[in-house]
Chain A
C-alpha cells in the first residue's frame, strides 16, 4: 500500500488537475512507481554529489600548498578514498539508474518497469550504503583509495576498510537489481509497434549498460568477499606472506571497474543523443551506428581491464594484448562523437541550458578521449600511470561527460518530471561557471602528471605549486557553480512556470503524455507512427506550445 491519492472516478465535470496526483511525502516512502523511484535516485545521488564535492574542495585546499598543512596525510588519504568512492558509487551510478528508471517505461510506452517492487528495493539499498560509507569519516575512514589494493588495504584499519567493503557490496547489489529491471523491461515491454530499431537511443545505451552491470559487478563482489576474508578471517588470498597474490585482486577488481566506467558514461551517451536531436531539431546522425556502437563498447569494455595494470605484475604479452583492445575501443566511441557533431551540423541549435551542457559534454569528452587513447599506449602509460595525467583524463571523461550529462538531462527532462520549467538564464550561468571551473581545475593536471607529480599524495614537490594553485582556484569555481543550479532546481520545482506536455516539441513517447505524467503514464498505450528522431518531416507544429512559460492550467485541445 502506498500513500497516494485514493482511486478516483471523475465525472466529466471534474478537471484533471495536474500535479495533484502525488503528494511530496510519496517521494520519501517505498513507492513502486518508476517515476517516483527515478526522482528518489536522482535527488539522493545529488545529495552524495555535494558530499563528494565537499571532500574534493577540502583536498584541493590542502593541495594549494606543497606541505600537508590543512589536514594530516592519513586524513588526506581518507578524504581521497571517500571522494572517489562516493562520487562513483553514490553519485554517478545511482544518477544513471535514476534517469533510466524515470525514462525507460515512458520511452517505450509501458506503464512501469517489469518488476516494480524489485525496483523500489534496489533504490532503498542506496541510502544505507551511502550513509554507512559516509559515517566512516567519523570513526575511521578507509584510506587505501577507491581501488583499495591489498596489502595496503589490509593494514589501514579493519573498521574503515570493513565499512568500505560492506558499503560497496550493498551498492553493487542495488546496481545489479536495477540492471535486471532495465534489461527485462526494454527487451520485453516495448509497445508492439516499437521494434528495437524504433527505440530511442537512450534505451539502446541502457541495454549496453545493463549487460555490463550484470556481467561485471558480481566479479567485484567476488573480489570484495575474498578481501573481506583476508581482512577479518586471516586468510591470505591477496597477502604474499601467506602465499597469496596481490595482483589477483587487481585483476578481479578491474574486471569490474573498467566496465564500470562505461556503466558511468553509457547512460549519458544515450541521453545526449536525445538532447542534441531535439534541441537542434534534426534527426540523430547515424542512428544505427550510435545504437550498435553502444553494444560494441559494452562488449569491448569487458576485455580491456588490464590497461589499469600496465606497470603492475603483468607480463609483456598481457600488456600488449590489452593495449590493442583498449586502442580499438576508441573507434566505436569516436563514431558517437562524430555522430553528435554531425547532428548539430546544419541543425537549428537552440542555446537552451540542456543544449549548452550537451555541447560542453562533447567538447570535454573529446579531450578525455584523446588523453585516453594516449594512455592506451603502453610505453607512454608507463610514464604517466599513477600520476595527475590519469587524474586529468578521468575527470575529463567523468565530469566532462557523466556530470555534464546529468546536468544536461536534468535541464531537458525537468519539465517532464516536475511539470515546471527551469529558469534558462540561471541555467546558462551554471553552464558557464561549471565549464570554466572544470577546465581550470583539470587541464593543468595533464602537465602536472607529465612533469612528475604522482597521485594520492598530500605533500608534493614545490616545483608543482603554481599549477596546483590554478587547479585549486578552479575547484572553488566549480564549488560555486553548483549554487545557481541548486537554487534554480529547488525554486523552479515549487514556483517555476507550469510546463506543457511537450515544451521542446519532441517526438519520443515520454513527451506525448502529461507533465508530470499520470501515475500510469499513458491513458492508453500508444501506437507509433513516426521514428523517435523524425524531425524535418512535418510532424511537429511549427510553433511553441501556447502554454510555454504561461501561468495557469493548460488549455485542452478541442
Chain B
C-alpha cells in the first residue's frame, strides 16, 4: 500500500524539525563558554545552527531527491512540463526567509545590547583617554558632541555598580606582543583577572592594526593605532584561556598571542600582592613578555601553546615602552 505523499512530506518535515532542534543544541562545535558574553552568543549561534541545519536538510534533501527521482530516463527525449512558476509558492518562500532573517536580526540586536554593545553610545562614560600617538582627530568625544562613538563593547547593562567598580586594564598591542598595564602600576605580558567581575580592557595599538580576541569569551575588537577601542568582559569560569591577535599584523602574526588567567578572588589578590611586592623591590622587568620574533626558535613559538609563557627579560627596545606605559598609567590614575 502506497503511503500518501502528504503523509510522507509531513514525516520528512517532522524529522527535519526534530533533527535540527537536537543538532542546534548538541553540535559540540564551540569551545567552552567562559564569560557571560559567551553564553549569550552561544544561545544565538545554537538558534542559527538549528535554522541552518534545518534549511540544509530541506534544500539539500530536495536537491538530492530531485536529482534521483527526476532523472531523465534512457531514451526519453521529451521535455518536462511547461511550468513557469507558482506565485503563491514564490510568495511563501520569499516571506518565510524574510521573517526568519528579521527574527535573527532582532535576536542578534538583543544579544548585542545585552553584551554591552550599545553602551558605548552613552557619552557619560567618563573622560576620554589620550591616545598614545598624537593625532589630529579624536574619534570618541569632542566639545561638539561627535557622531562617532568608541568602537568595541561596553559594560553589560546592569553589571557595574557603585560598590563594584570595574577593573580597568590598559592593553597595548605591538608587533608581536600584548602588554597589559594594571592599576597599581603592574605591567605584564599576560592578562590576569578575578572571576565574576567585569573587566574593562582599553585597547591601543602601537604600530599597525592588531586585534584582541578571546575565543572562549566570544569577544574581539580591533586595536587601531591612534584610536582607543574598548572591550568589557565578564569571566564566569576559572582557567587559562588563549588571547589571540586576530588582525594580520606582519609575518609573525601567528605568534602574537598570550594567555588570560581567570583567578578566584583570593588568588587574584595574591597575584596582585606578589607583583606589587616585586615592583617595590625594584624589579622592573615586564613579566611574561615574549622575545622579539627574530630571536625566537620554532620551538619557542610553539611553546606558548603547550605551557604557560616563561618569564623573559624584556628586550632593550621595550624598556622605553615600559617607561611610556608608566606615564600613561599615571594619567589614568589621575582620573
Task: List chain B residues, Cβ under 8 A from A534.
Answer: 82
Q: Which of chain B's residues have a CB closer than 8 A to the CB of A335? A: 90, 93-94
Which B residue sits closest to A315, measured CB to CB? B149
Are the CB atoms of B112 and A535 closer together than 8 Å?
Answer: no
Partner of B109, one of A320, A334, A387: A320
Cβ B302 vs Cβ A536 within 8 A:
no
Tell me if B215 is interfacial: C-beta within 8 Å of chain A.
Answer: yes
Q: How far is the CA of A534 from the CA of B83 in the complex (A)?
A: 9
Q: How far is the CB of B230 from chain A (nearest CB, A)?
A: 11
Is B220's CB within 8 Å of the partner chain A? yes
Assess the A459–B209 pair: CB atoms within 8 A.
no
B79 touches A536 (CB 8 A): yes
- CB of B85 within 8 A of CB of A72, answer no
- Are B224 and A313 neighbours in the complex by a CB distance under 8 Å? yes
Whether B82 and A240, one on each chain, are in contact in the complex, defined by CB atoms closer than 8 angstroms, is no
Complex partner residue of A66 from B60, B81, B97, B302, CB under 8 angstroms: B302
- CB neighbours (8 Å) of A362 from chain B are 59, 63
Residues from 227 to 246 in A contacting B, C-beta threshold 8 Å? 240-241, 243, 245-246
> Which of B98-106, B283-291, B308-316 is near enough to bind chain A?
B98-106
Among listed A213-221, A324-332, A414-422, interface-contacting one: A324-332
Interface residues of B: mostly helix, strand, loop or mixed? Answer: mixed
Which of A346, A382, A455 lies in contact with B83, CB distance below 8 A?
Answer: A346
Residues of B within 8 Å of A460, CB to CB, are 254
- Let me know if A54 is at the binding interface, CB within 8 A: no
Q: Give the interface size class of chain B.
A: 35 or more
Asked if A152 meets B222 with Cβ closer than 8 Å, knowing A283-B83, A378-B108, the reply is: no
Measured between alpha carbons, how far is A73 from B249 in the docked complex, in Å? 12
The listed residue with most B CB atoms (<10 A of its CB), out of A76, A283, A350, is A283
Within the assembled complex, what's the spacing in Å between the Cα atoms of A324 and B106? 9
Residues of A within 8 A of B149 (CB): 315-317
Cα distance, A382 to B28, chains bound together (Å): 19
A-B contact list, 21 entries, CB within 8 Å: A68-B254, A68-B298, A77-B248, A152-B208, A282-B82, A311-B221, A316-B117, A342-B86, A344-B70, A345-B70, A346-B83, A348-B76, A349-B70, A377-B108, A379-B40, A383-B41, A386-B213, A386-B246, A454-B254, A535-B80, A535-B82
Given A245-B226, A319-B112, 12 extra CB contacts under 8 A: A283-B82, A330-B101, A338-B93, A341-B62, A342-B89, A349-B72, A359-B67, A374-B48, A386-B213, A446-B29, A451-B30, A456-B248
Question: Chain A residues in contact with chain B, CB under 8 A?
Answer: 66-69, 72-74, 76-77, 143-145, 149, 151-152, 155-156, 240-241, 243, 245-247, 280-283, 285-289, 311-317, 319-320, 323-324, 327-328, 330-331, 334-335, 337-339, 341-342, 344-351, 359, 362-363, 366-367, 370-371, 373-374, 376-380, 382-383, 385-387, 446-447, 450-452, 454-463, 533-537, 540, 542-544
